A and B are shown apart, each in its own frame.
Chain A
Amino acid sequence: EIVMTQSPATLSVSPGERATLSCRASQSVSSNLAWYQQKPGQAPRLLIYGASFRATGVPARFSGSGSGTEFTLTISSLQSEDFAVYYCQQYKNWPPVTFGGGTKVEIK
């Protein structure tokens, strides 16, 4: 099973600042990597698939990069609605798909 590790666990950022979230896979997943946003009491929302493709309706301030074992989600200028938990997920070796432990982006 591929293990996904996210860092940091918590990221404190001021509105308008840039946020950089990391995700590492225990073995190569090529570009088979997705990012999700989850707000309290809500289901996850797909942001990025294929490591760098924004899902429908996702603002351009969200961008994904990386391949192989190292991936990054960047939020260029944090808005109030972006404070949430973010998960990465690999789907190269299905089943199972595996998720990272999450990064909580909180207001500084």
Chain B
Amino acid sequence: VQLLESGGGLVQPGGSLRLSCAASGFSFSTYVISWVRQAPGKGLEWVSGISGSGDDTYYADSVKGRFTISRDNSKNTLYLQMNSLRAEDTAVYYCAKRMTTAGFDYWGQGTLVTVSS
């Protein structure tokens, strides 16, 4: 199982960025996948999740209305479209595969998003 994030970088406040997570080694369309972030020196914060089919999406209150999660099961890829970015969105963003009814058993290596002028 591998999860590989990309798309991070430096963006100005109010700007946009799209993260990608390329998955391999498992039946991608079967599993819920989430984005979890970690601000510098801080703990883990769940950001968003999506069902295997992509029909159901979920967001933390802190990003609702600004971030959009999606997936392309034909490409085994997860996305996070981030708009209206704020300084407090600065973090390493991980994609994580959820076990069927339990925690996150596989994580990517993370991609750093820095929101600063």
Contacts and interface: CB of A to CB of B under 8 A. Distances in A.
B44 A49 contact: no
Judged by DSSP, the binding face of B is strand
Interface string B96-117: 1011001111011110000000
Interface stretch (A15-23, A66-74, A91-99): A91-99
A96 B58 contact: yes
B25 interface: no
Contact of A49 (B60, B94, B99): B99
A96 B46 contact: yes
Contacts of B99: 49
B44 A44 contact: yes
A32 B98 CA distance: 13
Interface residues of B, number: 22
B102 A99 contact: no
B108 A95 contact: no
Contacts, number: 61
A49 B46 contact: no
Interface residues of A, number: 25
Contact of B109 (A43, A91, A102): A43
Nearest to A32: B102
Contact of A99 (B44, B58, B110): B44
Given A43-B109, A87-B44, A98-B46, A34 B103 contact: yes
Given A38-B44, A44-B94, A95-B46, 20 more contacts: A34-B104, A36-B103, A43-B94, A43-B108, A44-B44, A44-B96, A45-B107, A49-B102, A49-B105, A50-B102, A55-B105, A56-B105, A91-B98, A96-B46, A96-B58, A97-B46, A97-B49, A99-B45, A100-B43, A101-B43
Interface of B: 34, 36, 43-46, 49, 58-60, 94, 96, 98-99, 102-105, 107-110
23 contacts: A34-B104, A36-B103, A36-B104, A38-B44, A43-B107, A43-B109, A44-B94, A44-B104, A44-B107, A45-B107, A46-B105, A49-B103, A49-B105, A87-B43, A89-B44, A89-B103, A89-B104, A95-B49, A95-B58, A96-B58, A96-B60, A99-B44, A102-B43
